[in-house]
Chains A and B, each alone.
Chain A
Amino acid sequence: MEKNDPARKQLELNSLIEFSQLISSKLDLNYILNNILLSVMGKMLISKGVVLLKTEGADNIYNIKAAKGIDLSLLNSFVEAEFPKMSVFTYDDIFMKSVFINEHRFEYYLKIYFQNKYLGILCLGKKLNKAELTNNEIIFIETMLNISASAIENTIKFVQVSDLNNSLSNKIRQLNSLFELGKEFNSSFIDKEKIIKLLNFSLLGNFGIKDFVIISKDRNKKFIILKDNKNLEIESFDLDKIFSDADLPAELRYTIHIKEDSAFPFISYLHSMGFELFIPTIINNEIDSIICLGKKLSGTEFSKEDIEFLESIMNLSLISLHNYFLFQEYLSKQKIESELMVAREIQIALLPDRIPDINNYKVAGTNIPALHIGGDYFDFIELTKDKTVLVIGDVSGKGTPASLLMASIQSAVHSYLKLYDEENFDFAKVTEKINELIYENTSPEKFITFFWGILDSKENTFEYINAGHNPPFLLKGNEYSELKEGGFIIGILDTAMGYEIGKVHLDKDDIIVLYTDGVTEAMNKKEEEFGEANLKKVITSNREKNPDVILESIKNSIVDFTREMPQYDDITMIVLKKIS
Chain B
Amino acid sequence: MEEFSIKTKQNDDISILELEGYLDAHTSVELEKCFEKIISEKKFKIIVNFEKLSYISSAGLGVFMAFIESARNNAGDIKLCAMSDKIYNIFDMLGFPILFEIYKEEKTAIEKFS
Contacts and interface: CB of A to CB of B under 8 A. Distances in A.
Interface of A: 1, 3, 7-8, 11, 14-15, 18-19, 22, 31, 34-35, 37-43, 45-48, 68-69, 72, 128-129
A68 B57 contact: no
Main secondary structure of the interface of B (DSSP, over half): helix
B25 interface: yes
9 contacts: A18-B24, A19-B59, A34-B29, A35-B25, A38-B28, A38-B63, A42-B62, A43-B94, A129-B98
Nearest to A7: B93
A22 B58 CA distance: 13
Contact of B70 (A39, A42, A43, A69): A69
Contacts of B26: 22
A183 B65 CA distance: 61
A220 B61 CA distance: 78
A551 B57 CA distance: 115
Contacts of A8: 93
9 A-B pairs with the lowest CB-CB distances in the bound complex, closest first: A42-B61, A38-B62, A42-B62, A68-B66, A41-B62, A38-B59, A42-B58, A43-B58, A41-B65
A31 B68 CA distance: 21
Given A18-B57, A42-B63, 19 more contacts: A11-B58, A15-B58, A18-B24, A18-B25, A22-B24, A22-B25, A38-B25, A38-B63, A39-B25, A39-B62, A42-B58, A42-B65, A43-B94, A45-B95, A47-B65, A68-B66, A69-B65, A69-B66, A72-B36
Residue of B58, B89, B93 with most chain A CB atoms under a 10 A cut-off: B58
B62 A3 contact: no
A47 B99 CA distance: 11
Contact of A128 (B63, B68, B70): B68
B96 interface: yes
B60 A42 contact: yes
Contacts, number: 94
Contacts of B36: 72
A128 B59 CA distance: 16
Contacts of B95: 1, 45, 129
Contacts of A42: 57-65, 94
B25 A40 contact: no
Contacts of A38: 25, 28, 32, 58-63, 65-66
Contact of B65 (A11, A35, A128): A128
Interface string B23-47: 0111011001000100000000000
Contact of A39 (B29, B58, B90, B96): B58
A128 B32 CA distance: 19
A1 B92 CA distance: 12
B105 interface: no
Interface of B: 24-26, 28-29, 32, 36, 57-70, 89-90, 93-96, 98-99
Contacts of A35: 25, 28, 59
A537 B66 CA distance: 117
B66 A41 contact: yes
A47 B94 contact: no
A7 B94 CA distance: 11
A48 B70 CA distance: 10
Contacts of A68: 62, 65-66
In this complex, the member of B25, B32, B36, B96 whose beta carbon has the largest number of chain A beta carbons within 10 angstroms is B25
Most A CB contacts (10 A, CB to CB) among B26, B66, B67 go to B66
B93 A3 contact: yes
B83 to A, nearest CB: 15
Contacts of A34: 29, 32
Contacts of A48: 66, 69
A105 to B, nearest CB: 13
Contacts of A45: 65, 94-96, 99
Residue with the highest number of chain B CB atoms closer than 10 Å, among A18, A31, A47? A47
B91 to A, nearest CB: 10
Contacts of B59: 15, 19, 35, 38-39, 42
A48 B90 CA distance: 21
B108 to A, nearest CB: 23
B99 A129 contact: yes
A144 to B, nearest CB: 10
A39 B57 contact: yes
A8 B65 CA distance: 19
A502 B59 CA distance: 125
B69 A40 contact: no
B105 to A, nearest CB: 24
A42 B59 CA distance: 6
Contacts of A31: 29
A11 to B, nearest CB: 6
A22 B60 CA distance: 13
A68 B39 CA distance: 13
Contacts of A1: 95
A22 B96 CA distance: 24
A302 to B, nearest CB: 34
A34 B65 CA distance: 13
Contacts of A19: 25, 58-59
A38 B25 CA distance: 8
Nearest to A11: B93
Nearest to A38: B62
Nearest to A67: B66
B71 to A, nearest CB: 10
A151 to B, nearest CB: 12
A515 to B, nearest CB: 101
Indicate the member of B62, B89, B93 with the most A CB atoms within 10 Å.
B62
Nearest to B92: A3
A129 B64 CA distance: 14
B30 to A, nearest CB: 12
A40 B28 CA distance: 13
A48 B26 CA distance: 20
A22 B29 CA distance: 13
B34 to A, nearest CB: 14
Contacts of B69: 47-48, 69, 128
Contact of A37 (B60, B62, B64, B99): B62
Nearest to B29: A34
A128 B67 CA distance: 12
